C-alpha cells in the first residue's frame, strides 16, 4: 500500500513538469533576447542559428472593424486572407542545455521553446 502512495506522488510530481513550454526570453552568452525582438537583434545577440527553416503560412485574420450594432443591425468585422512569413531558428548551446527554438513571424520573435538536449 505504501508503494502505491509513493508511485502516485511521483506520478503527480512528474505530470507537473513542463515539456517544451514556451518562454518569453533566452540568454545567449551574456545577452538576453525576448519576444518582440527583431531577427536582426537576435542575430546580433546570438549569432547565426545552428539550423533554420522558413515557410509562408496563409491565415484568415480580422482586417478591420469590430462587432457592433448600427440601428439594430449587427455589423460584423471584415476578415481576409493574409500571408505570414514564419522563420524557425534552432540554437544548439551544447549537450548540457536544451536546444532553443526561436519562432519569428514577419521578422518579429513571437515565441521561444525548449527542445531536447543539445549535442
42: phi then psi, degrees, rounded to nearest 5: -65, -40
| C-beta separation of 25 from 116 below 8 A | no
Answer yes or no: is 94 within a domain: yes
Answer yes or no: is 72 within a domain: no
Residue 19: what pLDDT? Answer: 43
Measured CA to CA, the distance from residue 113 to residue 103 in angstroms comes to 8
pLDDT in tens, 41-76: 999 999 999 999 999 999 998 877 776 767 777 777
CATH number at residue 110: 3.30.1450
Mean pLDDT of 89-114: 95
Answer yes or no: is 108 within a domain: yes
Answer yes or no: is 27 within a domain: yes
Taking the model in full, what pTM does it have? 0.70
Provide the domain limits for residue 89: 2-57+85-117
Answer yes or no: is 95 within a domain: yes
Answer yes or no: is 71 within a domain: no
Domains contained in the chain, number: 1
Amino acid at each position: 500500500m505504501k508503494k502505491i502512495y509513493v508511485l502516485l506522488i511521483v506520478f503527480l510530481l512528474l505530470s507537473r513538469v513542463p515539456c517544451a513550454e514556451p518562454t518569453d526570453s533566452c540568454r545567449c552568452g551574456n545577452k538576453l533576447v525576448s519576444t518582440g525582438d527583431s531577427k536582426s537583434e537576435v542575430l546580433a545577440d546570438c549569432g547565426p542559428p545552428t539550423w533554420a527553416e522558413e515557410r509562408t503560412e496563409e491565415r484568415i485574420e480580422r482586417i478591420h472593424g469590430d462587432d457592433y450594432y448600427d440601428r439594430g443591425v449587427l455589423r460584423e468585422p471584415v476578415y481576409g486572407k493574409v500571408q505570414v512569413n514564419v522563420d524557425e531558428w534552432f540554437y544548439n548551446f551544447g549537450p548540457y542545455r536544451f536546444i532553443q527554438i526561436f519562432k519569428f513571424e514577419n521578422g518579429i520573435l513571437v515565441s521561444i521553446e525548449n527542445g531536447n538536449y543539445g549535442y
